[in-house]
């Protein structure tokens, strides 16, 4: 019995040590994020978007959007891509073998007609079934191909993209009108160094309804599960990605909005189909290549919300999505493990990847250990009830602080969300530990288990149920 009690005590101390390390890392990253946000906000306080929009020096961009079974949102999403406020761009929508009416809706909404365009298949992809262009939108091309996964569809789109910058977006993401201008502003400030740009994408159950009259994302979904996901994204972007930008250790340019210099994609060989998800792997590959070759580069995150994407609106869909994300992180970090603490990879090896290992990979291990230690400790009376409750309260408040910091950074940049939504987000912060984290814990544990079993399936969450699109 004494051995068991000693074991439980040790487990509790180990978990406390982990908590100190992980929250220490989170708060340290917030400091870097705050510095970056302040700098960015100041730099663009007086800047005129109008001049950039009308300048011939602004480089054209190809938006590539892979879609798979996105019938309810594909028309609205494509319209949002076409409505982007940018001097010159094209939209390449890639239908990745959808089994629903995605292609039919695109054909009907955008008056598609067959197009024969000769192009070099520079990146491998599943065979194409057809190419279409719009009668009403001269800058829209739709590619219909056999199903091959998102990376495969992005590669097919890249084969047709014409411009020097490529913006990969998800088929269920609604872009804000100024998203490209904001993203390309950073790229154009230093085109030789900035090879990739990403930005915050908000979460909503029905993204097409999340914008205000000026086209800025500004509505929070009333459902709690979606609001918690919104918070999760806010923390991930404003607390972490801005800090990663400051340290030039951006670990994931998110698939929902990722601008890449075309020549870099070419050099890296396009998106890899070997991994469960393409975005994080490509970002790691870019770091690995540029750091190994000692070339100056930057992958940066915008302190802006550039669009709204659909989040899962039920627990099982959320778990399916997050389980995949956990697998993807494990796959990528395991694949690039040689970068960890390797001097050649600088901040990526010494800050970025260790941060990922600590906050994402080790989390399920310590969460299981902590849960087991608490249950066993209470049963064996090695841990008393009162301190346990106080510890949980402290953790809840720590999460509340992280959340409030993210909301503060976001609001200082955009001032877009109404005050009542800000209050709601802040109030949800401390509840996150009890209402949302257990789901993420379960998804991570499941994802880790599946990774260990070698599962590489996509397991895309089912589309949220909503009204059929208007014809």
Partner 1 sequence: MLPTNSLVAAVAALGAAWLCLTAWVIGGRLLTERNRRRCEADAGVLASGRASVRSFRSRRLWRLADGDLGAVSARAASELVRRDSPALLRKARRRGFGRVGALRVLARGRSHAAFAALREARADARPEVTAAVVAITAEIDTPSADRLLLELLVAGDHPRSRTATELVPRAPRLVDQLLALVAHADPAVRYWALMLLRHAAPDPRIARAAVLSSTDPEPLARGAAARALGAAGSAEQLHVLRALLADEVFFVRAHAARAVGEIGAYILAAEVAALLGDESWWTRAAAKESLLALGPAGLEAAEAMASDLDRFARDGAAEVVNGFAHAPGERLPLRLAGGGAAR
> Is the distance from CB of 152 to CB of 273 less than 8 angstroms?
yes
Is 390 near partner 1 (CB under 8 A)? yes
Say which residues have a Cβ less than 8 Å from residue 170's Cβ, sequence separation at least 6: 65, 66, 255, 256, 309
* Min separation Cβ 377 and partner 1, Å: 9
Q: Considering only residues 400, 440, 447, 448, which one is a binding residue for partner 1 as defined by CB under 8 A?
A: 400
- Strands 140-145 and 89-96 turn out to be parallel
Place of tokens 């189909």: 273
Q: Which is closer to partner 1, CB of 263 or CB of 274?
A: 263
- Cα Rg for the chain, rounded, in angstroms? 22
Q: Which of 169, 172, 164 is nearest to 68 (CA)?
A: 172
Residue 117 engages partner 1 in binding (rule: CB under 8 A):
yes
Pairing of strands 173-175, 194-204: unpaired
SS3 61: strand
Distance in angstroms (rounded) separating the CA atoms of residues 385 and 378: 7
**Residue 419 touching partner 1 (CB under 8 A):** yes
Nearer to partner 1, 14 or 445 (CB): 14
From the list 2, 3, 99, 114, which residue makes contact with partner 1 (rule: CB under 8 A)? 114
- Which residues are CB-contacts of 202 (< 8 A; sequence separation ≥ 6)? 210, 217, 230, 233, 305, 307, 308, 309
CA distance 314 to 70: 18
Stretch that binds partner 1, among 169-177, 230-238, 241-249, 404-412 (CB under 8 A): 404-412
Q: What is the closest distance, in whole angstroms, from the C-beta atom of residue 467 to partner 1 in the complex?
A: 33
Q: Are strands 61-67 and 89-96 parallel, antiparallel or unpaired?
A: parallel
Contact 285, 292 (CB under 8 A): no
Q: Which stretch binds partner 1 (CB under 8 A): 91-99, 171-179, 241-249, 262-270?
A: 262-270
Least distance from C-beta 386 to partner 1, angstroms?
A: 6
Verify binding: residue 268, partner 1, rule CB under 8 A. Answer: no
Encoding tokens for residue 417?
């969300």
42-61 residues in contact with partner 1 (CB under 8 A) are 42-48, 51-52, 55-58
Closest CA to 300 of 310, 314, 286: 286
For residue 76, what are its two tokens? 């609205």
Q: How far is the CB of 254 from partner 1 (least distance, A)?
A: 25
Of residues 361 and 370, the one with the C-beta less far from partner 1: 370
Q: Binding string to partner 1 for residues 148 to 187, with x set by CB under 8 A, is what?
A: --------------x-x-----------------------
Q: Does 381 bind partner 1 (CB under 8 A)?
A: no
Q: Are 362 and 18 spatial neighbours (Cβ–Cβ below 8 Å)?
A: yes
Binding residues for partner 1, rule CB under 8 A, total 63
Which of 334, 340, 199 lies closest to 275, judged by CA?
334
Helix (H) or strand (E) holding 261: strand 257-261
Quick check: helix, strand or coil at residue 466?
coil
Q: Interface with partner 1 includes 458 (CB under 8 A)?
A: no
122/146 with CB nearer partner 1: 122
**Closest distance of CB 411 from partner 1, Å:** 6
Question: By CB under 8 A, which span of 83-91, 97-105, 334-342, 412-420 interacts with partner 1?
Answer: 412-420
* Three state DSSP letters for 163-203: CCEEEEECCCEEECCCHHHHHHHHHHHCCCCEEEEEEEEEE
Tell me the longest C-alpha to C-alpha distance in the chain: 78
CB of 449 to partner 1, least distance (A): 31
Handedness of CA 7, 11, 12, 14 (dihedral sign): positive
Please state the closest distance from residue 47 (CB atom) to partner 1, in A: 5
Which whole-number Å values give the CA distances from 384 to 1, 253, 381, in the listed order? 16, 44, 6
Smallest gap from residue 87 Cβ to partner 1 (A): 12
Q: Toward partner 1, which CB reaches closer, 51 or 295? A: 51
Determine if 375 is a binding residue for partner 1 (CB under 8 A): no
Q: Name residues contacting partner 1, limited to 281-320 (CB under 8 A).
A: none
What's the min distance (Å) between Cβ of 409 and partner 1? Answer: 10
From residue 14 to residue 43, the character string flagging contacts with partner 1 as x (rule: CB under 8 A) and all else as - is --x----------------------x--xx
Q: Of 352 and 430, which has the nearer Cβ to partner 1?
A: 430
Choose between 243 and 430: whose C-beta lies nearer to partner 1.
430
Which residues ranging from 185 to 244 are in contact with partner 1 (CB under 8 A)?
188-191
Q: Which stretch binds partner 1 (CB under 8 A): 71-79, 328-336, 361-369, 379-387?
A: 379-387
**d(Cα 250, Cα 197) in Å, to the nearest integer?**
10
Which residues sit at the interface with partner 1, rule CB under 8 A? 9, 12, 16, 39, 42-48, 51-52, 55-58, 113-122, 128, 135, 162, 164, 188-191, 262-263, 266, 383-384, 386-387, 390-391, 393-394, 397-398, 400-401, 404-405, 407-408, 411-412, 415, 419, 422-423, 426, 429-430
């Amino acid at each position: 019995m004494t051995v068991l009690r000693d074991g439980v005590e040790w487990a509790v101390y180990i978990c406390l040590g982990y908590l100190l390390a992980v929250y220490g890392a989170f708060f340290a990253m917030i400091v870097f994020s705050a510095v970056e946000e302040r700098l960015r906000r100041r730099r663009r306080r007086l800047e005129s978007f109008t001049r950039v929009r009308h300048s011939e020096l602004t480089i054209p961009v190809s938006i590539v959007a892979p879609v798979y079974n996105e019938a309810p949102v594909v028309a609205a999403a494509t319209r949002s891509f076409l409505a982007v406020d940018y001097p010159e761009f094209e939209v390449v929508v890639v239908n990745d073998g959808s089994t629903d009416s995605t292609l039919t809706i695109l054909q009907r909404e955008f008056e598609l007609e067959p197009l024969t365009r000769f192009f070099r298949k520079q990146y491998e992809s599943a065979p194409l079934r057809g190419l279409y262009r719009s009668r009403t939108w001269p800058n829209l091309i739709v590619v219909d191909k056999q199903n091959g996964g998102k990376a495969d569809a992005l590669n097919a789109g890249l084969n047709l993209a014409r411009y020097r910058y490529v913006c990969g977006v998800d088929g269920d993401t609604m872009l804000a009108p100024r998203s490209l201008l904001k993203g390309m502003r950073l790229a154009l400030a230093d085109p030789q160094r900035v090879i990739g740009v990403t930005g915050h994408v908000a979460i909503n159950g029905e993204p097409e309804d999340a914008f205000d009259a000026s086209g800025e994302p500004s509505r929070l979904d009333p459902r709690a599960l979606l609001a918690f996901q919104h918070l999760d994204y806010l923390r991930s972007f404003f607390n972490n990605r801005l800090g990663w930008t400051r340290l030039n250790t951006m670990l994931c340019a998110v698939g929902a909005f990722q601008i890449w210099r075309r020549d870099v994609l070419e050099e890296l060989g396009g998106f890899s189909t070997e991994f469960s998800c393409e975005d994080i792997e490509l970002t790691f590959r870019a770091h690995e290549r540029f750091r190994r070759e000692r070339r100056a580069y930057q992958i940066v995150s915008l302190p802006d919300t550039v669009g709204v994407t659909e989040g899962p609106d039920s627990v099982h869909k959320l778990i399916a999505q997050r389980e995949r994300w956990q697998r993807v992180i494990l796959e990528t970090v395991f694949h690039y493990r040689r970068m960890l603490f390797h001097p050649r990879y600088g901040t990526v090896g010494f800050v970025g990847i260790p941060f990922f290992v600590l906050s994402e990979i080790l989390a399920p291990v310590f969460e299981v250990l902590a849960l087991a230690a608490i249950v066993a400790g209470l049963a064996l009376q090695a841990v008393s009830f009162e301190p346990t409750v106080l510890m949980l309260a402290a953790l809840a408040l720590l999460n509340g602080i992280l959340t409030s910091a993210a909301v503060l950074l976001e609001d200082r940049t955009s001032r877009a969300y109404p005050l009542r939504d800000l209050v709601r987000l802040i109030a949800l912060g401390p509840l996150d530990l009890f209402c949302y984290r257990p789901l993420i814990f379960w998804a991570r544990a499941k994802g880790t288990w599946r990774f260990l079993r070698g599962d590489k399936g996509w397991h895309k969450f089912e589309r949220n149920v909503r009204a059929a699109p208007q014809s």
